[in-house]
Amino acid sequence: MDPSHAAALASLLGDGARVLTQPELVEQLSRDFYWYSPVLRKQLDGKVGDLVVQPLSAAEIQSVLGYCHAHNVAVTVRGAGTGNYGQAVPLQGGVVLDLARMDRIETIQPEGVAVCEPGVRLGVLENEARKSGWELRCYPSTIVKATVGGFLGGGSGGIGSVAHGNLRDFATVRALEVVTMEAEPRLLRHEGEAVHDILHAWGTNGVITRIWLALAPAVQWSQCAVAFDSFDAAFDFSELIANQKQWIKRLVTTFEWPIPSFFTPVTQYAPKGKALIFFLIASGQLAALEAAARESGGAASYAGVYLGLRTRPLLSDYTWNHTTLWAMKTDEAYTYLQCAFDPATAREQLRKLKDRFGQEILFHTEFWKNGEGQMIPGAIPLVYYTTEERLNEMIDFCREIGVFVANPHVNNVEGGGRYRADNVQLLAKRRYDPKGLLNPGKMATFEPETAATGAAAK
Ligand code: FAD
Q: What is the pLDDT of residues 68-97, one digit of tens each?
A: 999 999 999 999 999 999 999 999 999 999
**Cβ atoms 148, 120 nearer than 8 A:** yes
Residue 99 beta carbon below 6 angstroms from any ligand 1 atom = yes
Helix (H, G, I), strand (E, B) or coil at 2: coil
pLDDT-based confidence at residue 450 (cuts at 50, 70, 90): low
Residue 116 beta carbon below 6 angstroms from any ligand 1 atom = no
Q: What is the rounded average pLDDT of the residues 182-209?
A: 98
Residue bearing the CA closest to ligand 1, atom 38: 321
CA distance 424 to 197: 5
Residue 82 beta carbon below 6 angstroms from any ligand 1 atom = yes
> How many angstroms separate the alpha carbon of residue 237 from the centre of ligand 1?
31
**Residues 6+ away with beta carbon under 8 Å from 183:** 66, 69, 70
> How many angstroms separate the alpha carbon of residue 146 from the centre of ligand 1?
6
Prediction pTM value: 0.97
**Cβ atoms 227, 272 nearer than 8 A:** no
What does the pLDDT look like over 370-406, one tens digit per residue? 999 999 999 999 999 999 999 999 999 999 999 999 9
Residue 195 beta carbon below 6 angstroms from any ligand 1 atom = no
Residue 363 beta carbon below 6 angstroms from any ligand 1 atom = no
Q: DSSP secondary-structure letter at 310?
A: T
